[in-house]
Amino acid sequence: MAKLAQTSVKYVINGSFDAEGVVEKPDVIGALFGQTEGLLGAELDLRELQRTGRIGRIEVTVNTKAGKSSGQLAIPSSLDGTETALIAASLETIDRVGPCNAKISVSSVEDLRTVKRKYIIDRAKTLLSGLLGQVPETSIIAEELMQSVRSAEIIKYKGLSAGVDVPTSDSIILCEGRADVITLLKHGIKNAVAVGGTAIAPEIIQISKEKEVTVFTDGDRGGDLIIKELKQVVDVDFVARAPLGKEVEELSKKEVFKALREKVPVEQAQFLKPLGGPSAGNNSKRQAYPERRETRPSSPRRDSRDTHAPRTGRFDRKPTITKKPVLSDEDCKFFKEQINDLVGTRAAAIYDSDKQFAGRVPVKELSTSIKQVESPAIVVLDAELDQDIVNLCDAAGVSTIVGKKQKGSVRARNATVLTTDDL
């Protein structure tokens, strides 16, 4: 008697039986073959189908209790659905098993391919989920590409490692080493110069006489020493520090811009005691400089985020400095989405304080259109921000102005001015 190959099984007939006496497994199988013989013709004879392998091994379980028997049966089939259903229905005509009256009931005809399909679908979902997790977003790919390009822009300027904008910029950022310059380049800041240690090169002294100088150091004792050394020989204007215990080259883009936004005039900088020194005590976690405060209320304000914009004259050593708020992730996402929507349009989008869209107009028509908007709060532009645009938005009561980048040095009386590098 041939055994049906497991791989060819399409259906399984599931049934049960009840006999009014004690029977055994051979009695049940004999009843299946004997009482269905010739019932559906020679082509669907159960014995012949099993001999040719179209019906598989019949599985029977028997339980006997109180002089009566019952059990389960399963018949695998490689016939088509119609033929299998006919075989299943024929089983219910059996009325005796062995010497006893009996009844056979078919509970179901199970399509094994349905089970396989469910497994395939579930497994495909798992595999697809893993595949999608490996595909980076377009914005991530673009950011990685830009970082790679920017990091390749490091140059030698008067023998010093520097960003590409150092020769032409009116302001520079002095960092401790080449790795710090590369980090700033990755984040779009191209006017940094590497000091190279506490031994200040004559070229640094020469460059500082011509440009506004911001010192940006690590948040450790070495950073303190470099600042003190630079103050003795270089005309330092501002000081920015990495968070305590961190190096500039370790900082994320957000941390870099936060540190530069919070730079202070050199006169206001107060440095930590040497880390681990005998007098460090409870001061070991003190901020490297105090909260900003207005030193000359009548002085014009310079945007603290403008790290390498051209100047029109020597910058006042004690400007009025306003600390800009740190953007939430939600705000950053919102501004990025609006900037991306405007790319190539040369348009300005206006929103109210609830970030509800109020209208979109060409940038050149903003001066007339913004007057028609009630309480404009946010203006996002596909354009460079110049002083005229900032003045226009400021006068209209706008609280946040977002553009691609700044064109020169811009100042706002009340509004926060942001570029794509700030987001």
What would the two tokens of residue 349 be? 């989008």
Q: Is pLDDT at 65 greater than 60 in this prediction?
A: yes
Name all domains of the chain by residue range, CATH numbers in brackets.
6-115 (3.30.70.60), 144-285 (3.40.1360.10), 329-422 (3.40.140.10)
- Residue range 374-422, pLDDT digits in tens: 889 999 999 999 999 999 998 899 999 999 888 888 888 889 999 988 8
Say what the pLDDT of residue 373 is.
82
Distance CA 164, CA 192 (A): 9
- Residue range 110-137, pLDDT digits in tens: 988 888 888 899 899 888 888 777 766 6
- Residue range 336-361, pLDDT digits in tens: 999 888 888 888 999 988 888 888 88
- Residue range 17-26, pLDDT digits in tens: 999 999 999 9
Q: Which residue has the higher pLDDT, 60 or 151?
A: 60
Mean pLDDT of the chain: 80
- Residue range 206-261, pLDDT digits in tens: 888 888 999 998 888 878 888 888 888 888 889 998 988 889 988 998 999 998 98
DSSP SS3 for 287:
coil
Query: Predicted confidence band at 265 (pLDDT cuts at 50, 70, 90)?
Result: confident
- Residue range 133-156, pLDDT digits in tens: 776 666 666 666 666 655 567 888
CA diameter of the chain? 117
Give 202's contacts (C-beta < 8 A, 6+ positions apart).
Answer: none
Say what the pLDDT of residue 21 is.
92
Query: Predicted confidence band at 264 (pLDDT cuts at 50, 70, 90)?
Result: confident
Q: Is pLDDT at 9 greater than 50 in this prediction?
A: yes
Query: Predicted confidence band at 304 (pLDDT cuts at 50, 70, 90)?
Result: very low
* Of 194, 268, 260, the residue nearest 230 (C-alpha): 194
Say what the pLDDT of residue 214 is.
92
Residues constituting the chain: 423
Give 412's contacts (C-beta < 8 A, 6+ positions apart).
Answer: 303, 390, 393, 394, 401
Q: Which residue has the higher pLDDT, 164 or 292?
A: 164
Q: Is pLDDT at 275 greater than 60 in this prediction?
A: no
DSSP SS3 for 86:
helix
Angle at 334 between CA 303 and CA 134, to 5 degrees: 115
Give 142's contacts (C-beta < 8 A, 6+ positions apart).
Answer: none
Residue 19: alpha-carbon gap to chain centroid = 66
Span 322-335, average pLDDT: 76
Q: At what angle do helices 253-261 and 178-186 cross, to 10 degrees?
A: 100
φ and ψ at residue 273, rounded to 5 degrees:
-65, 155
Q: Is pLDDT at 305 greater than 60 in this prediction?
A: no
- Paired strand residues for 104: 17
DSSP SS3 for 317:
coil
Span 252-276, average pLDDT: 73
Q: Is pLDDT at 35 greater than 50 in this prediction?
A: yes
Q: Is 359 exposed, middle or buried (0-12, 13-18, 19+ CB in 10 A)?
A: middle
Say what the pLDDT of residue 143 is.
64
Residue 88 CA: distances (Å) to CA of 56, 101, 416: 14, 20, 79
Helix then strand then coil, % of the chain, to nearest 5: 35, 20, 40
Say what the pLDDT of residue 142 is.
66
What would the two tokens of residue 413 be? 């009386």
Say what the pLDDT of residue 245 is.
84
The helix (H) or strand (E) run that includes residue 349 is strand 347-351
Span 298-326, average pLDDT: 44
